[in-house]
Amino acid sequence: MSAEPAKLELPSSLVARAVALALEEDLGQAGDVTTNAVIPAHASAEAEIVARKPGVIAGLDLAAASFKALDADVQFVADVADGAKVAVGSRIARVQGNTRALLSAERTALNFLGHLSGIATLTAAYVAAINGTKAKIACTRKTTPGLRALEKYAVRAGGGSNHRFGLYDAVLVKDNHIAAGGGLAEALTRLRTTTGHLVKVEVEVDTLDQLDEALHFPIDAVLLDNMDVAALKQAVALVNGRVVTEASGGVTLETVRKIAETGVDLISVGALTHSAPVLDLALEWG
């Protein structure tokens, strides 16, 4: 009997910090001058978050926290969970509470939810495109500054995998490291004198000769950069399962299937986080 998949969750401290910064940016020192002038202080209301386009949802905790930050008694009841696929017109959540709080937090809540759901939706499209192959779709460090953890969470909600989170949690020797460090052999020789034994090491290569050279060192993965399908097939054969293979560079929904069919283990796609369109969601009043 297989285990239940782990529930997707963001750390509450991360959610609170992101929401506080976003609301501070929007409300400034004067608050919502429009809402405060138009709406009585003790008015209450109900509203629904509705999908205007089909997609995959991510960021519900951030949306809920945005409303609750302005009214701790707001009731936020989600109809779906992060990772759920929704159709046009689907109700995502119901919100009830102080009218001023709902109006003032509306844009922040929808910005988080729409942005992360857009990433999850695009990721799900890439994952579906390679269904039946052994490859996994992974994100990159091409993220919005300050939002990386949230955007990488959205990739997971869409069925993708996370690459390293930063420069601190794994080694990736890229082409500029090799150029500035005296060549591939010199860079990899230096590396193991300072890197802990638990740190994974990946090397970027763009030719089969570079790949062959890299495989003479104790590495864990190779990033096959901007190789065409024929070269990727040769690279996978050369590696022969000794290390993890990752294809990267200019991957699109039109090309990802052929790349996956070469036998690579991972396909990293920067577009997941830097080019995903926002999922169109709206807050509709009851």
Catalytically active residues are 107, 142, 174, 204, 225
CA 161 to chain centre: 8
Residues 272/139, Cβ–Cβ less than 8 Å: yes
**Residue 74 token pair:** 């707001």
Helix, strand, coil percentages in the chain from 3-state DSSP, rounded to 5: 40, 20, 40
In whole angstroms, give the CA distance from residue 199 to residue 212.
22
In whole angstroms, give the CA distance from residue 20 to residue 96.
20
In whole angstroms, give the CA distance from residue 156 to residue 257.
20
How many residues appear in the chain? 286
CB under 8 Å to 142, separation ≥6 — which residues? Answer: 270, 273, 274
